[in-house]
A and B are shown apart, each in its own frame.
Chain A
Amino acid sequence: MAKEFKTIKTEIRLPYELAYGATWTKFFEGMENEIIYGTKCSKCGRVLVPARSFCPRCFVNTDEWVETAQEGTLTAWSYVNYSYFGQPIKPPFIGALIRLDETDVDFLHLIGGFDLSDFDLVRKTVKNGMRVKAVWSDERKGHVLDIKYFEPA
């Protein structure tokens, strides 16, 4: 039998306090009040969500604020059925790209509102192109998870 070699268990924990700045602050204030904020680019006309301080394509400031629709269409989804250290959401869950109505990028969030432990039910329920709408948490903290998930509309 091959010799077993020793190992050392170690851990790194570091505290951070990250600045949101003006645009993210307003976006998360919106979350607290059940509003999804986007910003519109004056050059290409795209509505970006979450709100951005500038358009990544045109490289101009985006200061026109838009309250986006809370319903949209499912672009893509993935049923996540494995776990890792510090995973913020307990599996199984469904990560999804959602095109909110009248916006021009996909918003990344969760699909839920039904029994996710039954994979066959998930396969039957979730389809690309389906309509979904935001479901808000009762206790909102100015966080992206103030939306609990998007459920089939």
Chain B
Amino acid sequence: MSVYGKYIVKKFFWYFLTLVIAVTLNFLLPRMIEGNPVSMIVSEMTQGMTDSDTIKRVYETFLVEFGIDKPLGEQFLIYLKNLVTGNLGTSFGLYPKPVTEILASAVPWTIGLQLPAILVGWLIGNVLGAVAAYRKGVFDKVIFPVALFVNSIPFFTLAIIMLYVFALSLNWFPLHGGYDYQMVPTLSFEFFASVLRHHTLPFLSIVLVTIGGQAIGMREMSIYELNSDYVLYSKLLGIRDSKIAKYVFRNAMLPQITGLALSIGTMVGGSLICEIVFSYPGIGTWMFTAIRQLDYPLISGCTLLIALAVLLANFTIDLIYGWIDPRIKAAQMEDQ
């Protein structure tokens, strides 16, 4: 096997180990939250019932049905066994809906909101940062403080302000949800338009924050690269400025690519606040609901999804980075 192949196998092993630990924590942590999910559900179901015997029977039925009457170790083994077959269990809160089904319905909303927003924000942010570093002058004096300002506002504040101004006061956009509740999701033009209208405000809020962070990072990196010796040397050998700009921005982009891959990886987890503020029907909102209801399988399912996405993103970075930056590749080889 080649040195690089060995490197990948070793990396893969470490990521797998991390995943195993993550799965264990995903299982354990929700169950350590104070409270009993069954009594919460039962007390809701048996409202108005007076027969304590019936209530007790309902309670015990659910206890057995959810499998939380067994010792924790046995529960974990069952969880693992189900996991291997791709079964994430049944939701407590939406019983008897399987967790996988809930996740499958939520993931498209999260990705549909986050992925375009991150990509657009990343692209605009990097272009602005690079131009600010290259042009300097007035452009830089305006872009940089604005980016810094936007980047410093906590996201939930920004989201709430946007919601207040554009949805509540100006009434340009709907206040919450992924589409009008009166509508039934179909492949109609009207439904699509509704989705788009609901999509705009959360989308813009993420784009704005992403632009701020990316522009600052790209500006710093570009200034650093512009001052490096190879820029001067290339100029003195008569290479035209546009070509040198290409050298500079390619090198300045390298850390930004890591940033992009990471934010795509953390997209599922990072969507929490945005989705809660805008009541968007994605993973974040579901996880929020699950935690409130002590819905163990759904919490574990959401966190597993988040852990998988982050690890996958990191592994991908490790793979492509060696390919685009020879210095990293050399360092990776040396580790062997």
Q: Do A and B come from one complex?
A: no
